[in-house]
Chain A
């Protein structure tokens, strides 16, 4: 009989997750307080969505946008209407738009290169069109942004606790008291007491069958398994928007799934979208067709869609980046090198004799994705505080701000750190807290079982249930059956682990099942359909009168509670 060892830690502010939001939060928190721990499931040097790069970040650049006659309010309204379809935390969105620029200046201060001599714009910025109807996305040299940020975290004096997967919260008297995690390499339980906690563990990936059939061949980081959302829910925190889902997650390169670099990618000019007959069906961002600035037409508009081409017998569709001069293609190469997964993409292309300048890249609709366009997560107030006092959430972890992406991570991380620092100022020592019993029991049972179900079997079962019951044919009856299946899995599986690496995966299964159940319950509760992110067969109409709101779900004294919140 082995029992996991428990190691105690104590700090004033604990930041969970070392991505863009977590690093920025740790840096700002340490400027204001000298007792900060940053916990990461892997290593912040290369972890999270921007692990191998980030080539773009949107914001309001006064020196350019003012000259072009675009106000901050116009840009925010554009985001509310066209990115978020009206359902968004407006105050937080406004804060993100207004302060993204300041955080970009921080990145420059930390050592990122953001200015280029060949720019024709004030400040020597390379700005592109991306999500909004104005040129407000900075293109910069971000391949090593995580290394730069990690260096800044170390310099600030924050302590980095890496290879620890946080999966439970400690609470005392209805307030946060810390977190509990599992050491993915040392196999210890780490009990971290803290007076304030900032959660930044990001999205829930690995819920749906991956397009190429391999568990880890997905667009977003497979290490992100909703650990923050699951642990917050178990601790009684209210989550919103969990029913929303991007279907497909993206049109991406077939087989080797990549995000950027395609017609919908951030770096312009990327390719045009063509069908199998060679007809252009999607122009590039800047080649806006019928779109006018702050008008209503859609970007890329040609009257044709990728899906439409497949369904009318003109598929497959491709991204074609072959046109243009060497100079243009050099720019593309630079951009790909700096965007996440880009360096690996170029390495693989070279190794396998592929060249985006000579070969089209075939595009397919990949597996659904949660928490990005969907923005599912804890509801937060104007300081990023969740419904549990002292617990904050930032970036993709937070609910209610679709399309906040990198600027959301930086700005909310900063904001949460300031609020957390105010909270802990003058407070006494951290409380003892409780909340780890279930985790300790799960770890000991799994390690001592000596045979049972491998985590891979549970992962495949989750993929099957979530893809069958919650993607193309969503309804109350399907969601109820999906819930039965996940509960059966939860009660029946007897996971086994031979080492900390495998036990980490077992804990991920626990969190994926938790998130899956939350999603299915919210799916049942929202009795309407809403745009591309929520389609029900039994309620096909959008119902703004009743449902233009966030749907909250939480546990209170063991009972499930749902409530609506006006955005």
Chain B
């Protein structure tokens, strides 16, 4: 059950205990010990402890009901024809330059939207 603290990496700083929005940890600075996890079943799997641990000592274990069962994706390797079409449309949407690939011809031109909006 989550979270799990690597006892070899933990430096007893207590950040995980300080920031956890669900208060699943317990910790006593004076004891100089790895935080305990008295309420693992109350974890939200938000990952705050994972990203804020300065030693990367915390990881999340999923209980079985929360596992995502793998399912292969459909569009296959990058560069497929259908993927390319979607990508061209995406470039317009997200308003950033592309360093590679031809700009889209036709669909998704920025001007389409700008004209329609005026």
- Identify the A interface with B (CB < 8 A): 42-43, 45-48, 51-52, 67-70, 116, 118-121, 125-129, 134-135, 139, 143, 163, 184-185, 212-218, 221-223, 253-256, 268-269, 272, 274, 278, 284-287, 292-294, 318, 320-329, 331, 340-341, 343-345, 347-349, 351-354, 357-362, 501
Contacts and interface: CB of A to CB of B under 8 A. Distances in A.
Contact of B113 (A216, A293, A318): A293
Given A216-B22, A286-B108, A320-B73, A343 B50 contact: yes
B117 A69 contact: yes
Contact of B96 (A116, A215, A284): A116
Interface residues of B, number: 62
Nearest to B62: A348
Given A42-B21, A51-B21, A323 B114 contact: no
Contacts of B90: 268-269, 284, 286, 324, 328
A16 to B, nearest CB: 16
Given A287-B86, A324-B87, A47 B21 contact: yes
Given A43-B21, A323-B87, A324-B87, A331 B48 contact: no
A442 B26 CA distance: 25
B72 A119 contact: no
A48 B19 CA distance: 12
Interface string B13-35: 00000111111000000000000
Contacts of A46: 19-21, 46, 48, 52
B102 interface: no
B95 A126 contact: yes
B117 A353 contact: no
Given A46-B48, A344-B45, A358-B72, A126 B96 contact: yes
B115 to A, nearest CB: 8
Interface of B: 18-23, 38-39, 41-48, 50-52, 59-63, 65-76, 78-80, 82-83, 86-87, 89-90, 92-101, 108, 110, 113-114, 116-118
Contact of A324 (B42, B60, B86): B86
Contact of A360 (B52, B72, B100): B72
B22 to A, nearest CB: 6
A327 B98 contact: yes
30 contacts: A42-B21, A47-B21, A48-B21, A69-B114, A70-B117, A120-B110, A128-B94, A184-B23, A213-B65, A215-B41, A254-B68, A256-B45, A256-B67, A256-B68, A268-B93, A274-B74, A284-B86, A286-B89, A292-B116, A293-B113, A323-B83, A325-B79, A344-B48, A344-B60, A352-B62, A352-B68, A357-B73, A360-B74, A362-B69, A501-B23
Q: Identify whether the interface residues of A are mostly helix, strand, loop, or mixed.
A: loop
A331 B46 CA distance: 21
Contacts of B72: 358-360
A325 B44 contact: no
A278 B39 CA distance: 41
B78 A214 contact: no
Nearest to B97: A118
A185 B23 contact: yes
B44 A216 contact: yes
B86 A269 contact: yes
Nearest to B107: A287
